[in-house]
């Protein structure tokens, strides 16, 4: 039994129950606060507010811990695959051989897109932002699956929607890239792995099959594993928010893409490369750039640094940093941006401004260098993040519905004008 909490205000004292999580996190239950006191809490950005209880992912920001369903990200990165992690995040346990084969098969069967969707792709201008196309085309899937727009969160129909979205997000991404290159769409190859098929659809030519290098296929799969879920981040909370109105899963994940697009969130991986290339091409001294990032008079940030939750190293950044080396070596690439990233990290980690604010490299700091080495264009980096995060978004959407959660509707403190009479325009 946990200790209760108390709020005292204006001579009144309200006892509030607390909830203790499986990792001893404590949540104060304020569900009755307004009814009993007329007061609400105020927490812009929700830095101190829990939106839900969840069994999916655990993060300890102070210790740099990340676990999917209790398994450490370090073990999953080393021993698992994206399909196995997707199953784990969605179902709550690691699959046995037959479960994984069935899950894999279900996803592989759904890799294609309805031929008419070609008209949608052809309708976008060549320079259309890939995240805009991705969000649009995820919603467009709803137009081709009208019989699946229900909001059940379990059963065969739900499993089919899950397979469709996890499989087709990859195809939509690849065809988005090919549209921008003016290339014909490359049909999926069901004999390839999830990540291998993605590379094939991205880079194969009609008479020139893309040669999948094992290290590259493994690096793409690792990238997806590391991005598969991350508890109640901005985009996942968006998916829950949209789903709470009982909107269908296609539109809920399409909304998640919109939230992920922002440079403070999933857009940071591309922003890191832009930052490193700016430093490289303009010969900017690293200490000068770090000083600019500390200067409150401009909006320069050290992109890929800092995190709302991690106040120590983001474990995903550590894993990516080691894998970048092996991929660049396998591809015989010597990327000057990697050296700049390393030096920038070194400068920042010894700078009082960053140290005192617990600002460390996050998942985005090295991921862009890995994607660039593989040949993914910068404007597709956040699309890659969305592909990886899809199992996490879907699992959170399902969990929210399985808890039969009410529609999300936060309150506010009004600070505008008090009542005033209308004045006709002739008297203004
Ligand atoms: C992701 O939430 C998740 O789980 C997200 C994610 C996931 O997997 O879903 O992990 C993925 O989004 C990673 C974060 C990617 N974003 C970036 O790398 C962009 C750069 N980082 C910052 O914008 C910032 O660190 C955030 C957005 C990540 C976190 O913002 P917070 O929690 O609101 O922190 P803050 O802005 O209040 O920062 C606290 C202080 C401020 O300075 P002071 O007011 O105390 O003087 O630190 C400063 C900030 O100005 N600061 C930075 C900085 N990040 C924070 N200063 C310079 N450069 C930075 N990168």
> Are the beta carbons of 259 and 235 closer than 8 angstroms?
yes
Whether 73-260+391-402 shares its CATH topology with 268-374 is answered no
Tell whether ligand 1 has an atom less than 6 A from the beta carbon of residue 363: yes
Q: Give the pLDDT of residue 326.
A: 85
Kindly state the average pLDDT of the residues 66-78: 98
Out of 104, 221, 229, 364, the active site residue is 364
> What b/e sequence results for 19-33 when a residue is b if at least 16 CB atoms lie within 10 Å of its CB, and e otherwise?
eeeeeeeebbebeeb
Kindly state the average pLDDT of the residues 9-29: 96
Q: Among the atoms of ligand 1, which is closest to the Cα of residue 234?
A: 2
Q: If one looks up domain 5-65 in CATH, what number appears?
A: 2.20.28
The yes-or-no answer on residue 114 being catalytic is: no
Architecture of domain 73-260+391-402: Orthogonal Bundle (1.10)
Report the percent of the chain where pLDDT is more than 90: 94
Report pLDDT digits (tens) over 23-47: 999 999 999 999 999 999 999 999 9
Structure tokens at 248: 């269908």
CA dihedral 331, 334, 335, 341 (to 10 degrees): 110
For ligand 1, atom 19, name the residue with the nearest CA.
Answer: 264
For ligand 1, atom 55, name the residue with the nearest CA.
Answer: 306
Tell whether ligand 1 has an atom less than 6 A from the beta carbon of residue 344: no
Please check the confidence at residue 2 and state whether its pLDDT lies above 70. no
User: What are the residue boundaries of the structural domains of the chain, listed by start?
Assistant: 5-65, 73-260+391-402, 268-374
Report pLDDT digits (tens) over 174-215: 999 999 999 999 999 999 999 999 999 999 999 899 999 999
Q: Give the pLDDT of residue 359.
A: 96
> What b/e sequence results for 170-203 when a residue is b if at least 16 CB atoms lie within 10 Å of its CB, and e otherwise?
bbbbbbbbbbbeeeebbebeeebbbbbbbbbbbb
Site to probe by mutation for ligand 1, drawn from 64, 227, 306 as the one with most ligand atoms within 8 Å of Cβ, is 306
Please check the confidence at residue 1 and state whether its pLDDT lies above 70. no
- Give the Cα separation of 260 and 217 in Å (integer): 24
Mean pLDDT for all residues in the chain: 96
- Give the Cα separation of 170 and 197 in Å (integer): 9
Report pLDDT digits (tens) over 101-136: 999 999 999 999 999 999 999 999 989 999 999 999
Report pLDDT digits (tens) over 310-338: 999 999 999 999 899 888 988 999 999 99
State in Å: Cα 229 to ligand 1 middle.
Answer: 18
Report pLDDT digits (tens) over 90-104: 999 999 999 999 999
Is 1.10.230.10 the CATH number for 268-374? Answer: yes
Q: Is beta strand 71-72 parallel, antiparallel or unpaired with respect to 65-68?
A: antiparallel
Out of 221, 307, 314, 323, the active site residue is 307
Q: Give the pLDDT of residue 150.
A: 78
State in Å: Cα 336 to ligand 1 middle.
Answer: 25
Beta strands in 188-342 (DSSP E): none
Q: Give the pLDDT of residue 40.
A: 97
For ligand 1, atom 40, name the residue with the nearest CA.
Answer: 357
The yes-or-no answer on residue 97 being catalytic is: no
Tell whether ligand 1 has an atom less than 6 A from the beta carbon of residue 293: yes
For ligand 1, atom 56, name the residue with the nearest CA.
Answer: 301
Kindly state the average pLDDT of the residues 364-393: 96
Tell whether ligand 1 has an atom less than 6 A from the beta carbon of residue 311: no
Report pLDDT digits (tens) over 221-266: 999 999 999 999 999 999 999 999 999 999 999 999 999 999 999 9
3-state helix, strand, coil in the chain (%, to 5): 55, 5, 40
State in Å: Cα 365 to ligand 1 middle.
Answer: 12
């Amino acid at each position: 039994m946990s200790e209760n909490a108390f709020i005292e205000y204006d001579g009144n004292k309200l006892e509030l129950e607390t909830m203790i999580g499986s990792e001893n996190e404590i949540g104060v239950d304020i569900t009755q606060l307004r009814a009993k006191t007329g007061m609400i809490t105020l927490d812009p950005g929700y830095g101190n507010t829990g939106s839900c209880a969840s069994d999916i992912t655990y993060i300890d920001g102070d210790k740099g811990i990340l676990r999917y369903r209790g398994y450490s990200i370090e073990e999953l990165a080393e021993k698992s695959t994206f399909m196995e992690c997707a199953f784990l995040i969605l179902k709550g346990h690691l699959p046995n051989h037959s479960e994984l084969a069935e899950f894999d098969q279900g996803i592989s069967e759904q890799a294609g897109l309805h031929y008419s969707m070609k008209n949608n792709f052809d309708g976008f201008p060549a320079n259309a932002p890939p995240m805009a196309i991705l969000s649009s085309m995820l919603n467009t899937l709803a137009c081709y699956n009208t019989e699946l727009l229900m909001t059940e969160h379990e059963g065969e129909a739900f499993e089919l929607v899950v397979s469709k979205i996890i499989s087709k997000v990859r195809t939509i991404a690849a065809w988005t890239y090919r549209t921008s290159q003016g290339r014909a769409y490359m049909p999926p190859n069901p004999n390839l792995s999830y990540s291998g098929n993605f590379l094939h659809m991205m880079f194969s030519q009609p008479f020139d099959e893309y040669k999948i290098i094992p290290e590259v296929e493994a690096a793409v799969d690792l990238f997806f594993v590391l991005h598969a879920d991350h508890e109640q981040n901005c985009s996942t909370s968006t998916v829950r928010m949209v789903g709470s109105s009982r909107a269908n899963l296609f539109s809920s994940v399409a909304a998640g893409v919109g939230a992920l697009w922002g440079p403070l969130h999933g857009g940071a991986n591309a922003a890191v490369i832009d930052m490193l290339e700016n430093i490289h091409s303009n010969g900017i001294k690293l200490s000068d750039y770090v000083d600019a990032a500390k200067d409150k008079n401009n909006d320069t940030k050290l992109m890929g640094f800092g995190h709302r939750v991690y106040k120590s190293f983001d474990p995903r950044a550590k894993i990516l940093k080691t894998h970048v080396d092996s991929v660049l070596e396998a591809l015989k690439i010597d990327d000057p941006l990697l050296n700049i990233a390393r030096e920038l990290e070194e400068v920042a980690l010894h700078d009082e401004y960053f140290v005192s604010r617990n600002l460390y490299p996050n998942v985005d700091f090295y991921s862009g260098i890995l994607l660039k080495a593989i040949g993914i264009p910068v404007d597709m980096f956040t699309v890659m993040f969305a592909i990886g995060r899809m199992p996490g978004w879907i699992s959170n959407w399902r969990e929210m519905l399985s808890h039969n959660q009410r529609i999300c509707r936060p309150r506010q403190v009004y600070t505008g004008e008090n009542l005033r009479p209308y004045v006709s325009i002739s008297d203004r």
